[in-house]
Amino acid sequence: MKNYIYPLLFAAVLAGCATVPYTNRHQFNIISGAEEDKMGLQAYQETLSKAKLSTDAQATAMVVRIGQRIAAAAERSDFDWQFKLIDDPKMVNAFCLPGGRVAVYTGILPVTESEEGLAVVMSHEVAHALAHHGAERMSQGELVNLGGAALQVGMANKDPAAQQKVMSAFGLGASVGVLLPFSRSHEAEADHIGLILMAKAGYDPRAAVPFWQRMEAGGGKKPPEFLSTHPSDAARIKKIQAELPEALKYYKGR
């Protein structure tokens, strides 16, 4: 079995090469588009089946309006674009599942404050879907699992206690050294793509800085960045400020 693990690992990496739109980053993704879309639809339907949709017609119309403008800017007519506002004042969040299925929770509206503020959030979430970040994280997890299997095969003749110690170290190293930084890089990339999307949709990307400043001010105690799935607020704001000149090239309202 040992003779087959490493060629399989190498073949998986080669087979999963893809390119992220706008950033042109090469990514590892072994999840097919059809499979990703199916999982996205199932997750969306499950979420909506348990959620209470908002009856605020004005706020719901704003979510749909922003979503349609961002969808047009994304130029993905193959996506099944859907935009829902979920009534949950305690949930300060939004998401976009594969295939363009977007949900915004009412709890984030006081932080967004305006249509442009909400465009920051929704364009960021749509960017995750455009970049296939969910599928890439799943692929990365599969690659780590395959690496763990290869390590176990390589230590087959070692003492069980030594095997356990090495595998524990491998798991911690994979999490802190690979998976968490990987997730943070996705957040930064979604910020980058999101700025461009909202600018193309006619929203001022400069609204991103005060939005994330409000998020920083309203957030509680957070873990150190190296133990988090997200970049620190300060690092995020600094990077967004550096990327604004590029995004403003797409903004016709300035």
Would you name the residues annotated as active-site residues?
Answer: 125
Dihedral over alpha carbons 238, 181, 105, 40 (to 10 degrees): 130
Give alpha helix (H) positions in 155-201: 160-174, 180-200
Give CA–CA dist 201/68, Å, rounded.
Answer: 9
Q: With the C-alpha atoms ordered 27, 31, 37, 39, is the resulting torsion angle positive or negative?
A: negative
Give CA–CA dist 118/65, Å, rounded.
Answer: 11
H or E element in which residue 105 lies: strand 101-105
Cα dist from 89 to 93, 101, 117, 141, whole Å:
10, 21, 17, 33
Query: Degrees (nearest 5) of the Cα angle 195, 89, 185?
Result: 30
User: Tokens 């929704």 — which residue?
Assistant: 122
